[in-house]
Structure 1
Amino acid sequence: MRLSALVLAVAFAGTAAVPAAGAVRDPAPAAAPVAGPIVQLFQWPWDSIAQECRGTLGPKGFGAVQVSPPQEHVILDGENHPWYQDYQPVSYQLESRRGNREQFAAMVSACNDAGVEIYADAVVNHMAASDAVGSAGTAHTKYDYPGLYGDADFSDCRRDIANYDDQWEVRNCELLGLADLKTGSDHVRSTEIGYLNDLIGLGVSGFRVDGVKHMPPEDVGAIFGALDAVPGTGAKPYVFQEVIADQTTSAGEYSGNGDVTEFGYHHVVSDAFKDGSLAQLANLPDQVELPGDQAVVFIDNHDTQRSEPTLTYKDGAAYDLANAFMLAYPYGTPQLISGFAFDDPDAGPPADSEGRTSPASCSDEAWVCEHARPVIAGMAGFHQEVRGADLVNWWDDGAGRIAFGRGDAGFVVLNREDAAVEQQTFQTSLPAGTYCDVMSGELQDGSCTGGTAEVGEDGTFTTSIRGVSGIALHTGAKLS
């Protein structure tokens, strides 16, 4: 199936505004992220995301959902529909195994109405690697995607990257056989801008940009700097870029285009909660490259879960505590993941016999729903409540137990040790009163559904914390 006239018109709508290749560009806007954390609902269908926004994400204080790539993708039925087929675009029609254009638009509207923004995973570096048929029925061959791109739209280096120490190769040769687009060309830029503006027109508020280190920074800036404002807000979309930094590519090279994923944070914090050495996290900003206001941080994402699984949902309480730390500590914009259970790292999501993704539900054990775990769900509201407050009252035991406050708005204690903390007194800057522990419950109808803590006039409280557990208090969950 070829692109419809409507989709073609959308795809080329941005031509007049696109910066010419080689022209001096204005920096892409660094729009502010939402107050609440981002949760990546990895491979969730559109209808299921709409339900989750209304039922859980909005009420719990999550700020945005990162959705999987919405464009038409290749169908790899001979490989049992692996998760990565979605990252191989065939066209920019909104027809994927997660739903169609109408379902996508309805999902965006439902989430926005629930106070949850939608950030789409944008694949703009490449097209599909194989000769096949796409999820909307588009037949294609490598370097020929009907009505969209032809041979001249792809880089001249038509082989896999052989030397990752060569920056030119990394940016111009092919990643795992994927057809590398000439993102410096006017035609490619205008086509991608048209696709992204189509998503913005449907209410999408931001983008996670895939594979950014494989594109020159000026190309990324030219594309994402030319996007429309989000309807009803007057603001440019929030942009954060996937950059796996190494000795050839630094995260800072791309920070002028928007926020950047700080993979160094993942290594430092995930390692600490894996082996229990939490005291070292007191000076966390000194151990990573980016300033906090430019960084998107995570404990794990869909790639690290599969390629370097330091800490994942399979690690239970230690994983939950690591995410609690991320949501409490004042560095970066936190991004959570909520996906599906897997043993095979290539496995796709639960699906029917034709590879179309099954409805996602937290009552179905096939979907892990990390975001709905009590500790993580409770800390989403904590993060929103303490936003902008300074780190205060740090305490540690030199090993696996830490505590710290966020101004006079919140306080958290984390115990990574197996042994309990017995009747320890902590100094906070909280106002006196009775607080709900949001790691074990919430404030509901004037009472706490979980544990409580009594903060005295001097700002102290005394409590016991069982092994591999914690307590979190904030002023939004304080009894009257």
Structure 2
Amino acid sequence: MTKIFLLILSIAVTVCNAQKDPHWWGGRNTIVHLFEWKWKDIADECERFLQHKGYAGVQISPPNENIIVFNRPWWERYQPMSYKIHTRSGDEVDFLNMTRRCNKVGIRIYADVVINHMAADSPNPIGTAGSTADPPNKQFPAVPYGPGDFHKTCAINDYNDPENVRNCELSGLKDLDQSKDWVRSKLIEYCNHLVDLGVAGFRVDAAKHMWPYDMKVIFDSIKNLNTNFGFAPSSRPYVYQEVIDLGGEAISSKEYVHMGTVTEFKCSAEIGRVFKGKDKLSHLHNWGEGWGFLNGLDSFVFVDNHDNQRGHGAGGENILMYKQAKQYKMATAFMLAHPYGTTQIMSSFDFNHGDQ
């Protein structure tokens, strides 16, 4: 009996660690987030620049159909209407062309998947692939989802209450119930389709707002990576989960490390403090776990991301971005040179306000 238990435990640990392997080619490191780039342009970037500069992978914007919002803010990409691969970045043909070309030159593609929720209420809702929906009544026929596939309508207003954070709506976004078999099946189907199309893994948006048990069931059910894109047999998708945890709340990022790596937002906030002159450079001597961060094998780190560089998410005034060019370059160089965590850098575009 003891031997059987140890065997099961060993298998569980192996699966967990497998989902922390980003499948980089030798001599490569670092993921670059090509935020809001078109699939055709990403394919060109893989071939012309990234492969020659030692980059290992690209995080792309959510590839699924999203609602069209007036003035087309970036955050419309985080309001799903269906799981059709059709956005302003391109369609499924463009997507497959990108993954083929990028994988061929050793650049892995990681899809930003929005599986916590569907689109919020909006007048005359229509998606980027032409799908319609009725968000107030939780009807999304292009999936299809109906009212029974969602948690009850309530707003997140207490971050000291895990049930409120995970079962209520984030900014009015219709909160899916991942404990339902139908919801799980549609999310697994979507992720499996992306695997078929050649992705190496997933950045899981709003993971903090989903129950770890439900997420584990979903992740464990996703198929192995597609060997037609150069992945070894039995390779598991790399998983990195967005969990904002600066301390002082009921939900901890440590609740998610058994399923893959986790975004370490403390790193983003603290590295900004140091290179903005609010803390001493000498204090960086024990950077990483010595600062109370996650274990390096569990952490996904960055100086800034698409949210906090625009004033959303965590970190506030401590966040460095391209507009503080000198300090930003210094912080980025330090992060890339230091062995702590799996690193990511940003490549988006100039903006003047948080909705651009």
Shorter-normalised TM range: 0.7 to 0.9
Q: Distance in 1 between matches of 2:243 and 2:299?
A: 11
Q: Distance in 2 between matches of 1:72 and 1:314?
A: 31
Q: Distance in 1 between matches of 2:293 and 2:250?
A: 14
Greater helix share, 1 or 2?
A: 2
> SS of the residue aligned with 1:140?
coil
Point out where structure 1 has 5 or more consecutive residues left out of the alignment. 1-24, 348-480
- Equivalent in 163, 172, 183 of residue 167 of structure 2: 172
Q: What amino acid maps onto 1:191 in structure 2?
A: K
Matched residues, number:
320
Determine if contact 1:39/1:64 at 8 Å carries over to the other structure: yes
Other-structure match for 2:304: 300
Q: What amino acid maps onto 1:53 in structure 2?
A: C
Q: What amino acid maps onto 1:40 in structure 2?
A: H
> SS of the residue aligned with 2:203?
strand
Ranges of 4+ aligned residues in structure 1 off by more than 2 Å: 25-31
Output aligned runs, 1:4-403, within 5 Å. Answer: 29-33=18-22, 34=24, 35-77=28-70, 80-131=71-122, 132-142=125-135, 143-147=138-142, 148-156=144-152, 158-232=153-227, 233-234=232-233, 235-245=235-245, 246=247, 247-275=249-277, 277-285=280-288, 286-307=290-311, 308=316, 310-347=319-356
Q: Distance in 2 between matches of 1:160 and 1:194?
A: 28
Determine if contact 1:119/1:204 at 8 Å carries over to the other structure: yes
Normalising by structure 2, report the TM-score. 0.87
> SS of the residue aligned with 2:239?
strand
The percentage of counterpart residues that share the same residue type is 43
RMSD: 1.4
Cα offset, 1:73, TM superposition:
0.1
Determine if contact 1:251/1:289 at 8 Å carries over to the other structure: no
Q: Tell which structure's C-alpha radius of gyration is larger.
A: 1
Q: What amino acid maps onto 2:147 in structure 1?
A: D
Q: What amino acid maps onto 2:183 in structure 1?
A: V
Return the structure number with greater relative CO, CA threshold 8 A, min gap 6: 2
> SS of the residue aligned with 1:65?
strand
Q: Distance in 2 between matches of 1:271 and 1:226?
A: 40
Q: What amino acid maps onto 1:226 in structure 2?
A: S
Q: Distance in 2 between matches of 1:287 and 1:266?
A: 12
Q: Distance in 1 between matches of 2:257 and 2:171?
A: 26
Q: Distance in 2 between matches of 1:44 and 1:278?
A: 35
Cα offset, 1:289, TM superposition:
2.8
Cα offset, 1:53, TM superposition:
0.5
Normalising by structure 1, report the TM-score. 0.65
Q: Distance in 1 between matches of 2:334 and 2:287?
A: 12
> What's the CA shift string for 1:325-373, capped at 9, x where partnerless?
11101100001111010011111xxxxxxxxxxxxxxxxxxxxxxxxxx
> SS of the residue aligned with 1:297?
strand
Q: Distance in 2 between matches of 1:298 and 1:225?
A: 27
Greater strand share, 1 or 2?
A: 1
Cα offset, 1:31, TM superposition:
3.5
Q: Distance in 1 between matches of 2:292 and 2:253?
A: 10
Q: Distance in 1 between matches of 2:281 and 2:269?
A: 13
Q: Distance in 1 between matches of 2:19 and 2:190?
A: 20
Q: What amino acid maps onto 2:331 in structure 1?
A: A
Cα offset, 1:318, TM superposition:
1.3
Q: Distance in 1 between matches of 2:83 and 2:19?
A: 25
> What's the CA shift string for 1:4-23, capped at 9, x where partnerless?
xxxxxxxxxxxxxxxxxxxx
Q: Distance in 2 between matches of 1:244 and 1:169?
A: 16
Cα offset, 1:253, TM superposition:
0.5
Determine if contact 2:239/2:260 at 8 Å carries over to the other structure: yes
Q: What amino acid maps onto 1:151 in structure 2?
A: P
Determine if contact 1:262/1:288 at 8 Å carries over to the other structure: no
Output aligned runs, 1:463-478, within 5 Å. Answer: none
Q: Distance in 1 between matches of 2:334 and 2:292?
A: 16
> SS of the residue aligned with 1:111?
helix
Cα offset, 1:159, TM superposition:
2.0
